[in-house]
Amino acid sequence: MIGRLNHVAIAVPDLRAASRLYSETLGAEVSAVTDLPEHGVSVVFVTLPNTKIELMAPLGDGSPILGFLERNPSGGMHHVCYEVDDIIAASDQLVAKGARVLGEPRTGAHGLPVLFLHPKDFHGTLIELEEVARPLSSSFHQ
Ligand SMILES: CC[C@@H](C(=O)O)C(=O)SCCNC(=O)CCNC(=O)[C@H](O)C(C)(C)COP(=O)(O)OP(=O)(O)OC[C@H]1O[C@@H](n2cnc3c(N)ncnc32)[C@H](O)[C@@H]1OP(=O)(O)O
Ligand SMILES: [Co+2]
Protein backbone atom coordinates (compact mmCIF):
# COMPACT_ATOMS: atom_id res chain seq x y z
CA MET A 1 0.00 0.00 0.00
CA ILE A 2 2.62 2.57 1.02
CA GLY A 3 5.18 3.88 -1.42
CA ARG A 4 8.00 6.41 -1.13
CA LEU A 5 8.86 8.38 1.99
CA ASN A 6 7.53 11.84 1.11
CA HIS A 7 8.75 13.71 4.21
CA VAL A 8 9.76 13.54 7.84
CA ALA A 9 8.22 16.30 9.96
CA ILE A 10 9.89 17.96 12.91
CA ALA A 11 7.89 20.17 15.27
CA VAL A 12 9.84 23.24 16.37
CA PRO A 13 9.11 26.12 18.77
CA ASP A 14 10.68 28.81 16.51
CA LEU A 15 10.29 28.23 12.77
CA ARG A 16 12.62 31.02 11.63
CA ALA A 17 15.42 29.85 13.94
CA ALA A 18 14.94 26.26 12.71
CA SER A 19 15.00 27.44 9.06
CA ARG A 20 18.29 29.25 9.68
CA LEU A 21 19.75 26.17 11.36
CA TYR A 22 18.96 24.03 8.30
CA SER A 23 20.05 26.63 5.72
CA GLU A 24 23.09 28.15 7.41
CA THR A 25 24.44 25.38 9.66
CA LEU A 26 23.44 22.32 7.62
CA GLY A 27 23.69 24.03 4.21
CA ALA A 28 20.30 22.79 2.98
CA GLU A 29 17.79 24.32 0.56
CA VAL A 30 14.91 25.68 2.66
CA SER A 31 11.60 27.07 1.30
CA ALA A 32 9.86 30.23 2.43
CA VAL A 33 7.46 30.02 5.39
CA THR A 34 3.89 29.02 4.47
CA ASP A 35 0.99 29.45 6.91
CA LEU A 36 -1.61 26.67 6.74
CA PRO A 37 -4.43 27.82 9.05
CA GLU A 38 -6.62 24.85 8.06
CA HIS A 39 -3.92 22.57 9.55
CA GLY A 40 -2.98 24.86 12.46
CA VAL A 41 0.69 24.98 11.47
CA SER A 42 3.26 27.15 9.70
CA VAL A 43 5.75 25.14 7.67
CA VAL A 44 8.93 25.25 5.65
CA PHE A 45 10.19 22.37 3.54
CA VAL A 46 13.84 21.38 3.40
CA THR A 47 14.67 19.68 0.09
CA LEU A 48 17.12 16.78 0.37
CA PRO A 49 18.33 14.63 -2.54
CA ASN A 50 16.10 11.70 -1.58
CA THR A 51 13.25 13.17 0.50
CA LYS A 52 12.03 16.29 2.29
CA ILE A 53 12.03 17.52 5.89
CA GLU A 54 8.98 19.48 7.03
CA LEU A 55 9.76 21.93 9.83
CA MET A 56 6.54 23.11 11.48
CA ALA A 57 5.47 25.42 14.28
CA PRO A 58 1.98 25.91 15.79
CA LEU A 59 -0.39 28.39 14.16
CA GLY A 60 -3.41 29.40 16.24
CA ASP A 61 -4.85 28.21 19.54
CA GLY A 62 -6.22 24.90 18.24
CA SER A 63 -3.01 23.68 16.62
CA PRO A 64 -2.73 19.85 16.67
CA ILE A 65 0.97 20.13 17.55
CA LEU A 66 0.59 22.25 20.72
CA GLY A 67 0.36 19.20 22.99
CA PHE A 68 3.41 17.65 21.34
CA LEU A 69 5.47 20.82 21.88
CA GLU A 70 4.31 21.06 25.50
CA ARG A 71 5.69 17.55 26.01
CA ASN A 72 8.81 18.31 23.90
CA PRO A 73 9.53 22.04 24.40
CA SER A 74 12.67 22.12 22.27
CA GLY A 75 10.91 20.23 19.45
CA GLY A 76 11.15 16.70 18.08
CA MET A 77 10.28 14.29 15.28
CA HIS A 78 6.51 14.54 14.85
CA HIS A 79 5.45 12.36 11.89
CA VAL A 80 6.55 10.50 8.79
CA CYS A 81 4.65 10.84 5.50
CA TYR A 82 4.32 7.93 3.09
CA GLU A 83 2.95 8.22 -0.43
CA VAL A 84 -0.07 6.18 -1.53
CA ASP A 85 -1.77 5.90 -4.91
CA ASP A 86 -5.36 6.05 -3.62
CA ILE A 87 -6.01 7.60 -0.21
CA ILE A 88 -9.63 6.43 0.07
CA ALA A 89 -8.69 2.82 -0.76
CA ALA A 90 -5.79 3.01 1.71
CA SER A 91 -8.05 4.46 4.42
CA ASP A 92 -10.70 1.75 3.85
CA GLN A 93 -8.09 -1.03 4.07
CA LEU A 94 -6.57 0.43 7.24
CA VAL A 95 -9.93 0.83 8.97
CA ALA A 96 -10.80 -2.78 8.02
CA LYS A 97 -7.54 -3.85 9.69
CA GLY A 98 -8.40 -1.95 12.88
CA ALA A 99 -6.19 1.14 12.52
CA ARG A 100 -7.51 4.49 13.71
CA VAL A 101 -7.70 6.99 10.86
CA LEU A 102 -7.78 10.54 12.25
CA GLY A 103 -10.54 12.45 10.46
CA GLU A 104 -11.16 12.75 6.74
CA PRO A 105 -8.66 13.39 3.91
CA ARG A 106 -7.78 17.07 3.56
CA THR A 107 -5.63 19.06 1.19
CA GLY A 108 -2.06 19.09 2.52
CA ALA A 109 0.93 21.35 2.06
CA HIS A 110 1.60 20.10 -1.48
CA GLY A 111 -2.01 20.63 -2.63
CA LEU A 112 -2.66 16.86 -2.49
CA PRO A 113 -5.01 14.82 -0.23
CA VAL A 114 -3.51 13.79 3.12
CA LEU A 115 -4.72 11.96 6.21
CA PHE A 116 -3.24 10.82 9.51
CA LEU A 117 -3.08 7.49 11.38
CA HIS A 118 -3.00 7.32 15.17
CA PRO A 119 0.55 6.94 16.59
CA LYS A 120 -0.62 4.37 19.15
CA ASP A 121 -1.46 1.97 16.29
CA PHE A 122 1.99 2.31 14.66
CA HIS A 123 4.65 1.83 17.34
CA GLY A 124 4.39 5.38 18.67
CA THR A 125 4.83 7.04 15.26
CA LEU A 126 2.23 9.39 13.79
CA ILE A 127 1.83 8.51 10.10
CA GLU A 128 0.63 10.87 7.38
CA LEU A 129 -0.46 9.43 4.03
CA GLU A 130 -0.30 11.61 0.93
CA GLU A 131 -2.03 10.65 -2.30
CA VAL A 132 0.41 11.17 -5.13
CA ALA A 133 -0.94 10.86 -8.64
CA ARG A 134 1.36 8.80 -10.84
CA PRO A 135 2.06 10.00 -14.38
CA LEU A 136 0.09 8.01 -16.96
CA SER A 137 3.34 6.78 -18.54
CA SER A 138 4.47 5.08 -15.29
CA SER A 139 1.16 3.21 -14.82
CA PHE A 140 1.32 2.20 -18.51
CA HIS A 141 4.61 0.38 -17.88
CA GLN A 142 3.48 -1.42 -14.68
C1 LIG B 1 1.20 20.94 6.71
C2 LIG B 1 0.06 20.06 6.35
C3 LIG B 1 0.36 18.59 6.48
C4 LIG B 1 1.28 18.16 5.37
O5 LIG B 1 0.85 18.31 4.20
O6 LIG B 1 2.41 17.72 5.56
C7 LIG B 1 0.89 18.28 7.88
O8 LIG B 1 1.87 17.66 8.09
S9 LIG B 1 -0.09 18.89 9.17
C10 LIG B 1 0.74 18.33 10.64
C11 LIG B 1 -0.04 18.62 11.85
N12 LIG B 1 -1.30 17.91 11.85
C13 LIG B 1 -1.49 16.77 12.54
O14 LIG B 1 -0.61 16.28 13.25
C15 LIG B 1 -2.87 16.17 12.41
C16 LIG B 1 -2.98 14.83 13.07
N17 LIG B 1 -2.62 14.88 14.48
C18 LIG B 1 -3.55 14.81 15.48
O19 LIG B 1 -4.74 14.68 15.23
C20 LIG B 1 -3.03 14.93 16.88
O21 LIG B 1 -1.75 15.53 16.87
C22 LIG B 1 -2.91 13.53 17.58
C23 LIG B 1 -2.02 12.56 16.80
C24 LIG B 1 -4.32 12.92 17.76
C25 LIG B 1 -2.26 13.73 18.95
O26 LIG B 1 -2.97 14.69 19.63
P27 LIG B 1 -2.38 15.31 21.01
O28 LIG B 1 -3.44 16.19 21.56
O29 LIG B 1 -1.03 15.89 20.81
O30 LIG B 1 -2.05 14.13 21.89
P31 LIG B 1 -2.85 13.21 22.85
O32 LIG B 1 -2.67 13.77 24.21
O33 LIG B 1 -4.24 12.90 22.39
O34 LIG B 1 -1.89 11.99 22.64
C35 LIG B 1 -2.29 10.67 22.78
C36 LIG B 1 -1.00 9.85 22.85
O37 LIG B 1 -0.31 9.92 21.59
C38 LIG B 1 1.02 10.42 21.78
N39 LIG B 1 1.36 11.28 20.66
C40 LIG B 1 0.76 12.44 20.31
N41 LIG B 1 1.33 12.96 19.23
C42 LIG B 1 2.32 12.11 18.88
C43 LIG B 1 3.27 12.13 17.81
N44 LIG B 1 3.32 13.13 16.93
N45 LIG B 1 4.12 11.09 17.73
C46 LIG B 1 4.11 10.06 18.63
N47 LIG B 1 3.21 10.00 19.67
C48 LIG B 1 2.35 11.03 19.78
C49 LIG B 1 0.97 11.18 23.08
O50 LIG B 1 2.25 11.25 23.66
C51 LIG B 1 0.00 10.36 23.91
O52 LIG B 1 0.69 9.26 24.43
P53 LIG B 1 0.43 8.76 25.94
O54 LIG B 1 0.82 9.91 26.84
O55 LIG B 1 1.32 7.55 26.09
O56 LIG B 1 -1.04 8.42 26.02
CO1 LIG C 1 3.37 16.47 7.02
- Report which DSSP code applies to 21: I
Q: What is the mean pLDDT of the chain?
A: 94
In this predicted model, what pLDDT tens digit does every residue of 89-105 receive, in sequence order?
Answer: 999 999 999 999 999 99
Average pLDDT over residues 42-61: 98
pLDDT band at 140 (very low <50, low <70, confident <90, very high): very low
Ligand lying nearest the CA atom of residue 56: 1
Domain CATH for 44: 3.10.180.10
Instruction: Please answer whether residues 103 and 91 qualify as being in contact, where contact means their C-beta atoms are separated by less than 8 angstroms.
Output: no
Whole-Å CA distances, 18 to 1, 86, 124:
33, 33, 24
Phi-psi region of 137 (alpha: psi -120 to 50; beta: other; left: phi over 0): alpha
pTM of the model: 0.95
- Report which DSSP code applies to 25: I
Q: What are the catalytic residues?
A: 128
- CA gap 114, 106 in Å, rounded: 5
Q: C-alpha 131: how far from its chain's center?
A: 12
In this predicted model, what pLDDT tens digit does every residue of 59-72 receive, in sequence order?
Answer: 999 999 999 999 99
The structural domain count of the chain equals 1
With residue 100 as reference, give the H or E element that holds it. Answer: none
Taking CA atoms only, the protein residue closest to ligand 1 atom 30 is 67
**ipTM field:** 0.97
Residue range of the domain that includes 89 = 5-140
Q: Name every protein residue with a CB atom under 6 angstroms from any ligand 1 atom.
A: 9, 36, 39, 41, 43, 54, 64-65, 67-68, 78-79, 81, 102, 108-109, 114, 116, 119-120, 124-126, 128
